[in-house]
Each structure stands twice: as structure tokens, then as C-alpha cells.
Structure 1
Amino acid sequence: MTISLIGLCQPPAVNPYNVTFPSAAPAAPKVWTSSGKSPFQVLHFSDVHIDRQYTPGSEANYSPATPTEPAGPFGEHTCDSPVPLVDSMLEFAQQTVGDAKFAIFTGDVVEAALWLVNQSDVTSDLQDWNAELAAKIQPTVFPSFGNHDTAPVNSFPRNTSAAASGFQWTFNVQSAAWENWIGEAAASQVQHDSGSYSAMVSGTNLRIISVNTQYWYIDNFYLYDSDTFQPDPNGVLAFIVEQLQATEDAGQRAWVIGHDEFMIGYSDYNNRQAANAIAYGSLSPALTPRSGNPAFKMYDVDPDTFELMDVKVYTTNMSNPSYQTNPTWELYYSARDTYAPLVPSLSANQSLSPAFWHNLTDVFAANNTAFQMYNTFKSRDGAVGSCTGSCVNATICGLRAMRSEDNCDVVSPGLPSRRDLETATPINRGYDMDCEGAGIGHVMKKLTRQTTPGSTTPETLAELRKRLETIIPS
């Protein structure tokens, strides 16, 4: 708790823990080969953070001393996503890739007004988003939980906590809504396995294993309610192993999805190189304008190996004069077209493998122009945070750290200062391991900003007090 709240110390050493697979690894693992067929497409959405109270014409960033331009109908960089922006993205995605094999949504539906949401609000937000996805996107959707998809934010108690039953509602809500996509058996797993599930992609040998990653999130304060060593909260790791074993036994392949960062995994973290890069996690950019220009991803997937042949990012540029009238969505970049020339060892018929991504991080370390291009891509040209020197090294280290104990995140001591509050700019940052600013530092900053005299309207303060009473009963 002291690490997350006020940064008094660095994280302790990780206790080794092993979940044994039911069967030994095969002596000759199945080799997945491509026949050269045309790839199919997969859509990936994440971090939509929809503000259903967004009011066009209101102050986009209220300050009595410095009035701002009225908020436009399709959103501002200081606000979360208005509903018209959500509709615009989904309609473009369906029009452009309506024949996609399936879609992925990796969490964070709810707006980041951290102190103004309660169970009723989150329930409505989740249900509305699920209905919008079902109405506007034809392919089957495989969703997962984000840390904002409960109330209060980040609250996912372990089943050993006295509070656990009080948060079952979010699993019940999503289980009911997701059943039409993932089937009855998987929906039951959502309800009874803490939000995780496993389901097959129809007509393929690909299994989707959706993991509720919030049981390893540093700002889930319910992880600190007991000093008892609980390395596998709610048996989620055991569930993953069970599903991976079933996948291997059936001769299938699996994608594991969840709410996490882009990272590369290795068989030997003491000697991280392309030869022992064995996995990577692909991160979808956020829709919310707070982190840059709104965006989503599309994957080109080999139908035989289920490996990614290309990763394409689509954005809408908020600085375009026509944005507030009719957002224009377009291809921002193709990973293959942009990055493959930097890694000459990649042939035309090879997938974007873990080894490829590791080799690309080597390029970033040696070529500052390439790294700064990547840094610009992180915010989709929304507002590029400066990242030089040690920031570059820490960023590359983070990219090579699927095992989180190997990242280079350094805890800084202290609560947010007044200077922090006055100068903080959510979309102007370099290396940052927080999830869309939902950590305790952001919580404290936002609460302080909203309760500082003159910084918030009396009506908002009254609403804040009212909502706090429903979230934290007296």
C-alpha cells in the first residue's frame, strides 16, 4: 500500500510461484505452418471511457480565471469520449472491416470521473456499451474487464475478502451481456471465475482466453486487505493453465487477452534477445481523447497459424477543422509497412513474431529517429510527450518486460504537490506504467483539483459530495 499510495519504498522481491501443468510438455510440440492463404481481419478496441454526461457547449476545462472554448460535440483532449465519438468509431470500423472474423474489446468502458461513479452508473455504462457494440459491430466480440469497470474504480476483491460478495454484480452484469457473443458456458465462467473465461472462435482452431488482470493491479487496494501470501488470487492462474492445457490437448492455438500493456516475453529474462523471445502482448490504442487522438486497431491474421501478419492503427485527427462536424477516420500507420524496413531480417511471408518485436526494440535503442517515431505513435499525434535519455532506456526496458518484475518502473516518494496539480497534463508524458491515469496519484490529484476553491462549480462540488456518500457510506 505504501508503494502505491505515497511511494515510500520500492517493490519487494517477487516470491517464486509455479502452477504445474496437468501434463508434461510434449516432446515434439506442434509446429504451426502457413499455407499462404489470405489473412483474415480482427478488430481491437480498448479504453473507450465513455462520458455519458458530456455536454457540448459546456466548459471543456473549467477555470474561473481562464475560460475555455465550449466543448465540441465530438470531444476534447481534456475530456473522455462523448457518445457521438463512440458511434463514429464503431460505424467506421463496421463499414471498413465489416467482414472481420471477430473483434476484441480489452476493457475500460467507464469514464475516469473517479469520484463521481457508483454501482448504478457503472452498471448502466456497461450495459449501454455492450448494446452499442452489439448493434453497430457485426463480428462476434470477445471482451475482457478493465480496472474502471467496477465501482469504486480498481475494486476487485479476492474471494477471501469479506467484501467479495459486494462486487459480484459487475460479473453478473457482464456475464448476461456477453453470453450472446461467447456462449453460455463461457458466460458462466465470467460469473463464477472472477471475470475470466475461455471460448473458441467459430470455424477455427483458435481459443480466446480472456483474463481479468485486475487481481495483479497495484492500485487494486483489496489486494492489501490480508498479509497472507496469496499468489493466485481466485485461482485465475490455475484457470489459465487449465485452459492452455485443454488447448494443447485439442491441437488448438490460444490468444490470451486482458487489460494490460504491450510487452515482450522471454524464456530467459537474464539474457533477453530475439532467439528467446517467445510471446508478446499487443496493445490497442484508446478511444478516449485524454491520451491522444482517438484510435483503434485492426490485425491481419494468418488463418493457419493465427499469427499477426500486420497491425494497423486507425485514428481521427482532432486538430482537423472538420473534426467537430464529421470526424474523418483514416489509416494512421501499418506496423509492417512502417517497422519492417527497420528490421531487414523479416521476409515478406513471415509474421510479426516476438523475435521481430525484440529486434525492433534493438533498433529503437540504436536509432533515436525510429524511437521518436514510436513515441509519437503512442499518442497518435495527439500531444507528444518528451522522452530522451533515461526515459528512452526505461521505455525500452518496459517493452521487454512481460514479466513485470523486470520492468524499469521506479517508485517516486510523496503525495502530489501543488505544482504537480497545476502542471499535470495527462497526455503529455513519456514512460508511464499507470493504466490511463487510474492510479492513486491520479486519484489524489483529481480529488484535490475538484475540491480546491474556485476550481470547480458549486453544482459540481455538491454532486461530488452526493456521489462520495454513495460510494463511501458514512
Structure 2
Amino acid sequence: MSYLLFSAGSALLCTFLLLVASPPTSHSDVRTDMEKLDALRRTIQKGRFSEAGSQTNWECELCEVGVTILKKTYGENKFQDEVAAALTQLCILSKLQDKTMCTGFTKEFKHEIVTIIGQTPLSSAEVCGLVVSDCSGPYDPTKFWKVTLPNTPKPPVTPPKPPKPGAPVSRVLFLSDVHVDLLYKPGANAYCGEYLCCRANSPAGKEGPKPAGKWGDYRYCDTPLWTLENLLQHLAQKQSEFDYAIWTGDIPPHNIWNQSRSDQLNALNIVSDMILKYLKIPIYPSLGNHESAPVNSFPPPFVSGKDSISWLYDALAETWTHWTPVSTKSNIERGAFYSVLVRPGLRLISINTNYCYNLNWWLLLNTTDPAGQLQWLTQQLQQAEDKGEKVHIIGHIPPGIDCLSAWSWNYYRIIDRYESTVAAQFFGHTHRDHFELFYDMKNRTRPTNIAYIGPSVTTYQYMNPGYRVYEIDGNYPESSMQVVNQQTYIMNLTEANLTDKPTWQLEYDTKEAYNMSSMTPADWDKFIQRLEKDTELFKTFYRYMYKSQRTDQPFTQKRRTAVICDLKTARSNDPSMCTLTPEVTWKDLQNYRTANRLC
């Protein structure tokens, strides 16, 4: 399915293309811009890209002209309605999506796109430099801010050592990306031509009916509520093994063309109540990009009135404080982040990575440290360092994936400064099972930290449902608090649908499967070096990355290079750790990420 409608740049481009289908006639001052746009449209439709330069060049030019038009005509509701009507009409005619989805997307995103483009202080070239790959304006505003680090000198670094045999171990449950579909219907079409299927009203699609299984489906379908309940029943029976749980967001399903605030709050309440029913252990949540309506829409605190995100953050504060101290409530209401002492010596910090997300268009109004979150994080880490605490950071979107450059690079600086304090990081979002390794900023050779990226509960797309258990160096003096091992569990969906007896089973134990004696950052760096040389090991890792299911992507050296590049790159838009050749370029790796993005 085309990713066109779900990329910030491409969605904007789509809007601008559609403007020319029904241009507003009341603006003589934009007539020249309209003529440019119409000429570009005709050139593109005829496939004569050479007349407009490379594809990237015409995308950039198209973007800039379209942004200029929106800026000049911002604030006129009649014009917004004309844009919406044109958008819907041409989306249908060009068969980007079906009529239902085209109409829904227009309704969901019209106000947001027009409002943000109309209000942003950035020029048209600067906007397009942010949202369209390879466009560069007069300057990139994301590069012109830095978080202030304290003057306190960085303590001498002592490389972490594996714990002694027999040392206490804490077990931490990890859940992410449940994406529960309350309208899932067994037997409904699972390949319907829409972004989410397996519902009673899912159309047949070009290939005819593809009936969905009872417990879920590998195709364009999310998690049935009864499958989540089955997982929680399974976990309830073994919860005495867990010290606490991490839950890194994305609760609603992928019907992102037809969601409301009440839909999202309903999903939050139903899933939270079910978790409360079955799990009686502490749970530390973070916020996913799907919790808002429209999807990915997270205005910073300075945006007030009807566009404010307080409707969601206030609800989160009420829900999350079932598990977190009341003292966290004010920060959750302000920015959906918080800090909590898990036990003496171990602090957990939950961050809101939607404030780095390159599909959160509200950041175009001001990209500089939204909600002051990174400055707050720095203060929290300094306090932890002063007290001798170790810190675990949790969030939804991994810092090296889908984040705006300035936020991502500032976060990298923070981790570099506090490498002796930050013992582990945990993220979700990609639905896959992998990691990102951090290296020192002086020469980028010494591994300093690791962000673990855990598997999704949802099957979306072509993966078994899964969860993770992390083994943490336990509660004793001088504990490193680092991850010492991990196990991933899956439900074999094919078997569950055939037998109607779902079981959750160990997919693999990391140290055993990868023949690792320990799991320090240095050990993971050695593991990456092995992946680069050992084809069979890479194939094993790749199979587990997709939870022992996805087989539709043949093994290629380009794919291998891209995967390894991602493992070594915890900064977005940073090719410095990647092996680039004439056959495998940075653009190739970016295209791989786009093709494999699940949002």
C-alpha cells in the first residue's frame, strides 16, 4: 500500500497537487503561483520529469509553490473548503485510496495542515527543507538550537562489566504497540485495499475475499480485543516473575482516516482497564504517536484553545497515576513525560517522543525543544548523577528513527554526557525486534549505550504478536542496572487460527541464540561486527527481527547493509556510521527505511 498519504512531505505534496484541480478564483495575487503549480502538475502527469529536473527537484518546487499559496490564503474558511473538496476529488480520481479513505483523510487533516502552514514563521523553502527528503532551504532551522548541558564535568567513564555469576536479576515485562481494533471481525476481508482491514465493512479488494482469522491476521489488520485479553491472562499467570512492566504506547488501531478524540479516549480507557484487571504489578507507560486524533498530532504547550492537546494529556494523567506517583501528574498534564524512582538507586524517566516526530506537523511552528523536555531530561539526569542513581529511559519512537535532526542529535549529546548514569533505554514504534547503539562523540568508535527496541503486540503487518522480558542486573550494591539478557515471546498466529488454541511461547533467548556471554554496549558492537561477516547469523537476526514470520522480503546485500546501518545509527539523518558504496548509497538506505516504516 502506498505510503504517500502518511509521510509529512508527501501528504503536503498531495495537498498542493490537488489545489490546482480547483484553484480559488478570488485571489488574483496568487495567480502566478497557480500557473506555476499547474505547469508542474501537467509535466508530472505526463511523466516528463526531465523538464522539471530530477524527481527531487520537482517535488521541492511543487512543495514551495504550494506552501506559498497556503500562506497567502491562510485564514479563509471558504478556501479551506475548496482545498478539501479538490483534495478528495483528485485522491479518488487518481486512485491513491478509495472514496472512504480519501474523504476521511481530508476531513482529518484539512484544518491542521492549513493552520500550521498559515502560522509557521518558516519560509516556504524552510518548510520544504524539513518535510520533503533532500530539499534544502536557505538554512535548516532544526540545526540552530542546542540544549544547555550543565557545567559539571563529566565523571570518568568506567566501562560496565557483566555481573558476577549468581548476582540478583530483576525481570521487566515489556509491552508495546497493542493497536487494539474494537471492530475486528473474524472472517472479514483481511486484504481490502485500505490501510486497515478485518472489519465488517472492509471492501473485498482487487484479489477477492481474504478471510481474517479469529485471533488476528498477518495482513492489514490489528489486534482483536480478545487476543489482547488472552495475552494478559497468560501474563497474569506468571506476573509474580516480574518486578514491573514497561508499556510504550500505541493503543488505537490504524484506521487513521476515521478517528475522533472520543475514539482515542475510549481505546485508552478500555485497554487500561483490562491491564489493571489482570496485571497487579507496577506499570510505567509512555505515549505513542497513535493516541492523538488526528494521528501524530501533538501540539506543544503554547498551542491553546481547540487545538490544544490537553484533552489527551489530562486523560493520561488520570490513567497513568494508577501506577505512577501523584507527583508525576503535573508533568504528564503539561507534556506527557515524567520521572519516578522505581527503587532506591534506580530511576525511570518516560519521555514523549512525539515532540521529535517528523510527522508531527505542529513542530513546524517551533522546532526548538518542544515543551522544554530535553532541558528537563538533562536536569533529571544531573540530579540522578548527583545522587548516584542509575536511570532507565523509556519512550515510543526510537531516537534514531523518524525524529527531527536537532532533537535527535541533542538527545545523543545528552546520552553521551550521562553515559555512566543512563543504564538502559527502551522504545517501541517500529513493531520490530532490534536496537540502536550509541557511540562516543569524540571519535565514534567506543560504544557507550544502547536503545532496545521491542516487538509489537499487533500483527500489523506480517508479524506474529509478541512481547519481551528484560533481565536487569538486580537490586544490590554496585549493581550496573544494565540489561543482562532478554527473551522474546510470540504467539504463532497460523497455529492459533488453525487450532483455536492460542499459546504464547518463547521465540528466542538472546544470549543463547546469538552466543553472547554478556550484553554490554561493547558486546553489542562486537555482535554487529559479526553480523557484517556472518551471513547465517544475520539471517537468524533478521528472522527474529520480524518475529519469525515475515518472508516476503528476500535477502539482499543492500537490505543487510541498511539493517546494520540502522543498528549503528542512533542519530537521525546521520550516515557517518554506515558503510556506503556506489551500489549502496545513503538514499538507498533512506528508501529502505521509508518502505519498512510502520507508524
TM superposition score normalised by structure 2: 0.63
Which of 192, 204, 209 is the matching residue for 1:68? 209
Please give the alpha-carbon distance, in whole angstroms, between the structure 2 residues aligned to 1:340 and 1:136.
35
Partner of 1:470: none
Partner of 2:339: 198
Amino acid at match of 1:19: V
- Deviation (angstroms), 1:5: 4.9
Partner of 1:418: none
Please give the alpha-carbon distance, in whole angstroms, between the structure 2 residues aligned to 1:4 and 1:245.
40
Amino acid at match of 2:593: D
Deviations 1:99-119 (A, max 9, x none): 311100111011011112110
Which of 332, 356, 380 is the matching residue for 2:523? 356
Which of 480, 485, 493 is the matching residue for 1:305? 480
Q: How does 1:19-98 map to 2 (within 5 A)?
A: 19-25=147-153, 27-28=155-156, 34=163, 36-62=166-192, 63=204, 66-78=207-219, 79-98=221-240
Partner of 1:388: 556
- Deviation (angstroms), 1:77: 1.3
Partner of 2:460: 290
Which of 319, 322, 336 is the matching residue for 2:511? 336
Which of 280, 286, 295 is the matching residue for 2:450? 280
Q: How does 1:75-474 map to 2 (within 5 A)?
A: 75-78=216-219, 79-161=221-303, 166-192=308-334, 194-201=335-342, 203-224=343-364, 226=365, 230-261=367-398, 262-268=435-441, 271-273=443-445, 276-291=446-461, 292-303=463-474, 304-320=479-495, 325-341=500-516, 346=517, 350=518, 352-384=519-551, 385-407=553-575, 431-432=592-593, 437-438=598-599
Which of 143, 150, 155 is the matching residue for 1:15? 143
Structure 1 gap segments, 5+ residues each: 413-429, 439-474
Please give the alpha-carbon distance, in whole angstroms, between the structure 1 residues aligned to 2:499 and 2:294.
32
Structure 2 gap segments, 5+ residues each: 1-7, 14-55, 60-132, 193-203, 399-434, 579-584
Q: Secondary structure at the match of 2:570?
A: coil
Contact 1:41 1:97 in 2 (8 A): no
* More helix by percentage: 2
Query: Which has the higher relative contact order, 1 or 2, with Cα contacts under 8 A spaced 6 or more apart?
Result: 1
Please give the alpha-carbon distance, in whole angstroms, between the structure 2 residues aligned to 1:95 and 1:26.
45
Alignment: residue pair count: 406
Deviations 1:407-444 (A, max 9, x none): 579568xxxxxxxxxxxxxxxxx943688623xxxxxx
Amino acid at match of 1:220: N
Amino acid at match of 1:257: I
Alpha carbons of structure 1 residues 370 and 64: separation in structure 2 relative to 1, 3 Å: closer
Q: Which moved more, 1:378-387 or 1:175-184?
A: 378-387
Q: Secondary structure at the match of 2:573?
A: helix
- Deviation (angstroms), 1:401: 1.1
Higher Cα radius of gyration: 2
Deviations 1:356-403 (A, max 9, x none): 111111111111211121111121122232341222112211111112
Percent identity between the two aligned chains: 27
RMSD: 2.7
Contact 2:160 2:520 in 1 (8 A): no
Alpha carbons of structure 1 residues 257 and 64: separation in structure 2 relative to 1, 3 Å: closer
Please give the alpha-carbon distance, in whole angstroms, between the structure 2 residues aligned to 1:17 and 1:186.
28
Contact 1:74 1:323 in 2 (8 A): no
Deviations 1:76-135 (A, max 9, x none): 112100011101212222323433111001110110111121100000001111111111
- Deviation (angstroms), 1:188: 2.2
